[in-house]
Amino acid sequence: MTMAAGPVLAGTFGVHAPMVRMVPPGQTVSAAFMILHNHGMKERTVIAAHSDVADAVELHNHIMEDGMMKMRRVDAIVVPGHAEVALKPGGLHIMLIGLNRNLEVGKKVTLELEFADGERLSFKAPVQMVSQEHDHTTHEH
């Protein structure tokens, strides 16, 4: 992953190396990845994500169920104090569902994280290629 003009910070919370997966025109689902870094002592809980490029934006994780990897929606992503949580292919990530525009490499997508305390953090993530082996459109929901 590459940095998008450096980390995005809100107080003691930072978003590092955000990116959105490029998908071919006509595809309606993509995913966003990043590293969430909590520089403070208190844990921070992301309860939602938002973007104007999709009808729905959900927090997801991959779990092993009945011997198969399956993607499931999660209610929150907890980032402990003085820790980081990686949102990456095959793990926690943000799903962009019902895309309303093409995601072309080099374009930037505005994302917003919503925290349990009501705080919001907006940032831009570049659209980048992600290897096909991590293509979320082939996993079972």
Give residue limits of the domains in the chain.
11-128
Segment 71-117, tens digit of pLDDT: 899 999 999 999 999 999 999 999 999 999 999 999 999 999 999 99
Per-residue pLDDT at 5 exceeds 50: no
Segment among 36-40, 41-45, 124-128, 133-137 with least mean pLDDT: 133-137
- The answer to whether 10 and 117 are in contact (CB under 8 A) is no
**Per-residue confidence (pLDDT) for residue 8, from 0 to 100:** 66
CATH fold group of domain 11-128? Immunoglobulin-like (2.60.40)
pLDDT digit string, tens, across residues 29-58 = 999 999 999 999 999 999 999 999 999 999
Between 28 and 64, the more confident residue is: 28
Q: Return d(Cα 16, Cα 84) in angstroms, integer.
A: 10
Strand 83-87 to 29-38 pairing: antiparallel
Largest distance between two CA atoms of the chain: 44
